[in-house]
Structure 1
Amino acid sequence: MKTMELVFLLIFFPVTLSVKHSLKFFFTISSGVKNFPDFVVVGLVDEVPMGYCDSISNTPEAKQDWSQKMIEDDPQHLEWYTQECLLNQFNHRVQIDILKQQLNQTEGVHIFQRMNGCEWDDETGEVNGFIQFGYDGEDFIAFDLKTLTWIAPKPQAVITKHKRDRDRALNERWKNFLTQQCPELVKRYMDLGKSSLLRTDLPSVSLLQKTPSSPVSCHATGFYPHRAMTFWRKDGEELHEDVEHGEILPNHDGSFQMSVDLNLSSVTPEDWRRYECVFHLSGVKDDIVTKLDKTVIRTNCVSPSEFPAGPVIGGVVGLLLLLAVCITGVFIWRRRDNGFRPAKSSDSLSSDPSSVKDAVLN
């Protein structure tokens, strides 16, 4: 009876899949890094870079047409970002200096990071806010929005936790930003940039393999949005063993790529036809299914029948002749110079600070 009721509900009241949209800010303070801004902040909407500021320019810069329109329509919005860029530089420099003192670090390169933002469910209206701090590549402290307290995963962060727990007024301001201001900003950005942020682009999917004994990688690139997943299945069932999932990575054109590897070392050639790669993109009804077929696998490995023996043999003979000439030259050079002198090289690399912005965003 319960099964029939469930079927009835699904038919007459279909479930609408909601989508979560996000706004995130990534702050980075560095100490001991040369030829690089010691403060950088990047803002992203649905993982798309929309704004940037650093300690060299001290001026927020819009990275999308819709984020530029937000500034043009609301000058106070630009003023708010400018103040945040300047104030956070000072605050985070103080914090990294305090941490270095607490940990007795006087030299070397050190990185202090902060990530904060929110997710908004466009169907249910549910909001989730978050603040996380990291130091030298490891989690340092995080904010618990429900209790308005801080979580310290390391003993070194306990002092900071107690200090932040006592600042109830600051924690209340964080709560207001994460649950009120941030979701409103997400909605405004989504409304201005819906033509690009709400689009769906399907990827091209390829099967790749380095050598005949390597895992087969199912690689999907060019899809948008980033809410996607790729997996292998056998006889219609998703596989979890002998499978390695890669991360979703950004492309230079704003789209994304990802891959999932399948280890076939224990699979007989006769069973290959039972495997297939599935790509699923959020908001798209039909999945992209790619059958495991040796004839469509792209590889750098050349079979013996395709090996260009003639040109290679000729090349080897040429290299042997060249080697003989070089050896003769070396003996002559050693006789004249009376010993080996290593070539001079420069250890310094030129760095253009103006190019840092694009490097951070790409």
Structure 2
Amino acid sequence: MSQKLEQYLQSNLEYLKDNGLYNEIDVVEGANGPEITVAGKKLINLSSNNYLGLATDEKLKEAAIEAVKTHGVGAGAVRTINGTLDLHVELEKTLAEFKGTEAAVAFQSGFNCNMAAIQAVMNKEDAILSDELNHASIIDGCRLSKAKIIRVNHSDMDDLRAKAKEAVESGLYKKVMYITDGVFSMDGDVAKLPEIVEIAKEFDLITYVDDAHGSGVMGKGAGTVKHFGLEKEIDLQMGTLSKAIGVVGGYVAGSQDLIDYLKVAARPFLFSTSLTPGDTKAITEAVKTLMASTELHDKLWENGDYLKAGLKDLGFEIGNSETPITPCIIGDEKKAQEFSKRLKEEGVYAKSIVFPTVPKGTGRVRNMPTAAHTKEMLDNALEIYAKVGREMGIIS
């Protein structure tokens, strides 16, 4: 190994470990459900994005197995050669119906969606107004586009209006986009989409909503845009298929012209092998399940409200979450990691989240209740939170 590389790696690893920023990766032995096994120990799982429990759903398993039997384990090519299977067409029609748009296109991951769509639509002659707490994939997609990136204070509509006005009236840019998460994954708050749409209309902004944590969760399952009834107003809806949907991949939904353009201009679509047959069929089954019933959605919210109330009653700082995502904000990064470690020792898996995922000084344990948790599991988790929180002086 190069000596300079070795020195660089060692010094950076040492810094991360000394400052409580090094992430230890745990191995889950078996399925990622409401309870998981790590190092032989069963734990109540409060760290999964599997909001609706669909990752272990029997119908989805059967759908995936049947698709493997009929279509094989891989698609065999990129979408533009001969990697577009009838299963992909069925999925995209289902997604468009689900999201209330003319069309949709599926990608290999949510991260790929933001790599693909932002740089396909925006370029160096344009500007992107971006919420300061947007996900890393949005930030990277904006950078790849080479557009001017203008940071907007989090959910601050006055700041958005002022910066939109300045960008548009400057005459420096051909197009201006505003991009935001629908649900912010670290704090659980929701974008102010009705106000955003008003400002976008005033200044002719392109609107882009990353609904990774809203799909399946908001709008009776159809997402944050649907929650506000703005399907006809938002230009690009992006979402993942790996969180509430329970499988893997992502999608962009919008007008037929938008989707037709992305299929010839979005680089991950053009240069990456398409979603596997098993995953594609399982995703379609999951989306159809959500379209047929709100039972899982309603159970998720019931469990989320229950855990949130319990943690708040114990005295934890849980921020201003408007969704089932519930952070316990500790502050100090090392203390947050120690808190997570002690919870794990007592029987709860709730991973610590520290810089750079969240700003320095806001280290936390993020709780992700799901539709698959029982009240008994949540009660046991709250007892453990109370014990560890008092031991460490986080609550009294």
Fold shared by both chains (TM-score > 0.5): no
Structure having the larger proportion of residues in strand: 1
TM range (shorter): under 0.3
Structure having the larger proportion of residues in helix: 2
Q: Highest CA radius of gyration, 1 or 2? A: 1
Which structure is higher in RCO with an 8 Å CA cutoff and minimum separation 6? 2
